[in-house]
Amino acid sequence: MIERLKFSTREAVLSDLSAIQAAARAQAAHWRTHDARLPRTLTLPRWVIFPDGGMCWLVQDGARPVGAVGVLREVWGEDSPFANVFPRQYVRLRLILVNGVEPHAALETCLECAAGWRGAFRVPGRMLTLPTCEGEWAAALKAAGFSPYHVIAHRPVDPMPQAPAAAGVTVRLADWEDAPAVAVIMAESWRFHAAHQPAIQITPWLPEQCHQQAQQLMGDGYNSALLVAERGGEVIGFFGIALNYQDPAFRPAFFERGRYGDILEVAVRGDQRRRGVGAAMFRAAWQWFVERDVTAMFVNYAPTNPVSSRFWPKLGFVDAWVSWWWNGEH
């Protein structure tokens, strides 16, 4: 039986920064030994640099600093085009801990800190993102009532995807006239997501939000773009893509420094699924990324979605990070 230590915490001050940085370096090195895709260094989050943006506590085992707990309140306004992607508001948790800290006790400490933070404003939801190599943490999170919410999966550019041609399907860059059709498919997709992710709250402005998001996904054509699939002159699917520069020296990074292809948003019309449309769009996206010299690709998908949870692994994507969700109840 594992003895669960009770850590002590206190509000972090600037003089604790070096201890927190040391823990962050140790954590990054530990993760890196298990998964070479992960960054060699960790960027300290906003709540360490700007205390008014959140709250940070130093975690101690006796007198020895072993890391930090941070909380930041995330709020998505109902008029935001991304309000349907995440729960409306929740508290994001961040744990920086040295290797060897027992996860169950650390998680209890983290939740206690968040519960006592005035900035939570009685917001029950909690989200914590950790790499999949942290198997002990996964067990601790499940025991505490967390469940997988989003997965970030990774795939190298090589080998080339072996996607068979979809009969009668053409994939091309979207133009402004495609936005209404893309918005309809996107709205259908988010309703489907919500059926499998109860934390998602569909807003009354879903059609307008999806239209705005469709236009944003088009981007400038080089750094980001929107692909659409057509059959018989009708738009039946879309694939939003962008370049992503992972550099942990400047901003939080999920992967080692490099130029990546980021798959932002994907959907196929319900009556056109399982007919090779998604694979055909992925092949076109892969070509777009290759022309821009990316080293690998990544995508964020919902593991509870029965379509995406099958689709991405079939294309060679391997899970790297999991965002865990807790609704405030054990």
Q: What does the pLDDT look like over 40-54, one tens digit per residue?
A: 988 888 788 777 678
Q: What does the pLDDT look like over 113-140, one tens digit per residue?
A: 998 888 887 888 999 999 999 989 999 9
* Residue finishing a domain among 144, 178, 209: 144
Residue 27's pLDDT band (cuts 50, 70, 90): very high
Within a domain: 160: yes
- Domain ranges, residue 98: 8-144
Within a domain: 150: no
| Range 179-199 average pLDDT | 91
d(CA 206, CA 203): 5
Amino acid 119: pLDDT? 84
Amino acid 100: pLDDT? 80
Backbone angles phi and psi of 211, in degrees to 5: -65, -45
> Per-residue pLDDT for 224 more than 60?
yes
DSSP class of 12: -
Residue 83's pLDDT band (cuts 50, 70, 90): low
Amino acid 2: pLDDT? 38
Strand order in the sheet with 258-268: 8-11, 55-61, 64-75, 89-97, 126-131, 318-326, 147-156, 296-301, 258-268, 234-246, 224-231, 169-173
Amino acid 1: pLDDT? 32
Which contiguous run of DSSP H or E holds residue 208?
Answer: helix 206-218
> Per-residue pLDDT for 74 more than 70?
yes
- Signed CA dihedral, 127, 129, 133, 137: sign only: negative
Amino acid 328: pLDDT? 72
Chain centroid to Cα 53, Å, comes to 20
Answer yes or no: do 188 and 271 share one domain: yes
Q: How many domains does the chain have?
A: 2
Return the CATH number at 14.
Answer: 3.40.630.30
Indicate the pTM of the whole model: 0.92
> Per-residue pLDDT for 3 more than 70?
no
Amino acid 240: pLDDT? 96
Q: Which position has the higher pLDDT, 292 or 120?
A: 292
